[in-house]
A and B are shown apart, each in its own frame.
Chain A
Amino acid sequence: MKLKKALVFSSNASNIASLCWGANSLAQESVAIVLGTESQANEAAAWAGKVLWLGEKAQGSMAESYTGAVAELVKKEQPELLLMGCGTRDRCIAAKLAVRLGAGVITDAATLEVDEAGSVLVKRNVFGGAAQATVKALGAMGIVLTSGGFDETAPAAAGSVEKLDVQIEDMGIQLLDTSAKQEETVDIAVAKRIVAVGRGLGSQENLAAAEDLAAKLGAEMGCTRPIAEEQHWMSRSRYIGVSGATVKPDLYMALGISGQVQHMVGAKSSKIIVAINKDAKAPIFQDCDIGLVADMNKVLPKLTQLL
């Protein structure tokens, strides 16, 4: 079964196309709300039956302050589904919309479908990826956040662009400064061999020995979430797991990684998992092909010669 109408919005206009593909596959009619340039609005018209263009984000404003404008459009359009992206801003806007519109939010949708009764069913990871839940949106409209992955689909009829004049709201928050962060982005998902490090590394200086091993093996460097998010020793695009990248290399070498579900879920499709950890009881030793119980920082130079 298909829904009657799905609405699409993202604070990041480059998400719109893929979200529209999802909307077209789930609903008879798709409408996209675009906050961006005129060309982005026109582009969206190739994928959505109708584009409601909010214009470009006002200088010095935050995308979040367009929540009220989006809420008004949702009330007017009365869709059964609002599809959004999984970024920090979309999460913030979705949470505000949920409360204002009395709707449920389901985030991080891996798959979405409409059942016979016309309800939206979403599959998403729970318990750090140890299990997958199927969640149903109740009520007149559900808000679903997804990072895409839909096949390309065109709308039933070519879209039109409607330019709207909207008010931005006072959130009680003043934007004093904004800057784009400079960080390398690596597509670790395509790597054939990966040497990944965890907190067992101990210090940033010890990275060099792991990098030497990676160079010898022709492997890409990866890491656990704390190495990227807390220690900032490696870029975020290199961390693997339920909230990071999913990889499927021939060789996954885990150094000083305990092997918590949240991490292993991202690495479980690796052909061979090799682990080095000084704790024989680390969970990773129950989920590897070959393991070595030893101090990684002691054995790495020697292993780089031997491998």
Chain B
Amino acid sequence: MKIIACYKIVPYEQSIGIAQDGSLNFDKAELMIGQYDLNAIEAGAQLVEKCGGELTALTVGSQEVENSKMRKGVLSRGPANCVTVCDPGLKDADSATTSAALAEAIKSRGEFDLVICGEGSSDIYAQQVGVQLGERLGLPCINGVTEITAGEGCINVQRNADGETETLCIKLPAVISVASGINVTRVPSMKDILAAGKKPFAALTGADVALPGERYTETVSVLAPQHAARPCKIFTGDSEETLSAFAAAVNAELK
């Protein structure tokens, strides 16, 4: 099976700076692979390991997508190769823009059987891109997939939707987004990380892929809420004395 797993490079929330007025500062923000996109990559890697074929990882965005540490991080988790589409016009893209750019990138790459997306991006988490992408490609598409088994010209999946469990047969090619519980993602070994550095990748730009012009939403402001600091009285250790002191402090609050 020829599989494409889509992912997004996002800032690690805990490292985003917050100014006095609540505005966000990304100067020192560390990058990471979207937490739930790792499930998509893992699902693709497991399918290929079981049924053969090839897994390609694909991302679209602005300059963060070309970060080599991130690309290696992705390639160390199973994909045979990686495609990045970098364009300043994709900065702060919403789900419509992202899915349209992914659709164009996929169309430019030729045949495939299955596209797997994560449940939602770590930063916006609208949970829209997978199905919007499928719809743009005019293919069968569904969200909430919790299990995938390859069949003849189709995949059989389990899906969780609003308290119901469904068994579906989806005709290929198709686009699915997987629920975060579908798998436990691998921790790459040193060997995987070294091998990742030698895997092929294609760094494309807006010149290679037709990017969408129209935007359907506009982010007017992004602000952090006011945060009341807590006292953080910390005890350390598990000696009888420490536990008694800790328990006394908690008990005093419970009264």
Contacts and interface: CB of A to CB of B under 8 A. Distances in A.
Nearest to B161: A88
Given A138-B215, A251-B253, A261-B14, A290 B127 contact: no
B132 A95 contact: yes
A1 interface: no
A105 interface: yes
A242 B120 CA distance: 13
Contact of A91 (B99, B127, B135): B127
Nearest to A136: B218
A149 to B, nearest CB: 17
Nearest to B247: A306
A171 interface: yes
B48 interface: no
B224 A293 contact: no
A122 to B, nearest CB: 9
Nearest to A143: B216
A91 to B, nearest CB: 5
Interface string A276-307: 00001001011111111111001100110011
Interface in A115-133: 121, 125-128, 130-133
A186 B94 CA distance: 34
A100 B144 CA distance: 21
A303 B243 contact: yes
Interface in B210-255: 214-225, 227, 230-238, 240, 242-244, 246-247, 249-251, 253-254
Contact of B246 (A95, A132, A230, A290): A290
Interface of B: 11, 13-14, 16, 18, 22, 24, 94-96, 99, 122-128, 130-132, 135-136, 139-144, 156, 160-171, 174, 179-181, 184, 214-225, 227, 230-238, 240, 242-244, 246-247, 249-251, 253-254
A98 B168 contact: no
Contact of A230 (B139, B181, B232, B236): B181
Nearest to A12: B162
Interface in A86-106: 87-89, 91-92, 94-96, 98-100, 102-106
A89 B96 contact: no
Interface stretch (A35-43, A159-167, A175-183): A175-183
5 contacts: A126-B123, A179-B165, A181-B163, A232-B181, A299-B243
B232 A285 contact: yes
A262 B215 CA distance: 28
B232 A286 contact: yes
B219 A230 contact: no
Contacts of B96: 98-99, 104-105
What is the interface of chain A mostly: helix, strand, loop, or mixed? mixed
Chain A, interface residues (CB within 8 Å), range: 35 or more
A133 B221 contact: yes
Contacts of A293: 234-237
Contacts of A174: 168-170
Given A98-B128, A131-B222, A180 B163 contact: yes
Contact of B174 (A88, A134, A172, A285): A172
A104 B224 CA distance: 24
B123 A127 contact: yes
A25 to B, nearest CB: 21
A73 interface: no
Contact of A290 (B99, B163, B250): B250
B164 A181 contact: yes
B254 A173 contact: no
Given A130-B16, A289-B231, A135 B218 contact: yes
Given A134-B221, A290-B233, A291-B234, A64 B165 contact: no
Contacts of B232: 285-289, 291
Contacts of B144: 88, 92
A89 B162 CA distance: 7
Contacts of B99: 99
A176 B169 contact: yes
A81 interface: no
Given A181-B164, A291-B235, A127 B13 contact: yes
B162 to A, nearest CB: 4
A62 B157 CA distance: 15
A287 B95 CA distance: 32
A127 B16 contact: yes
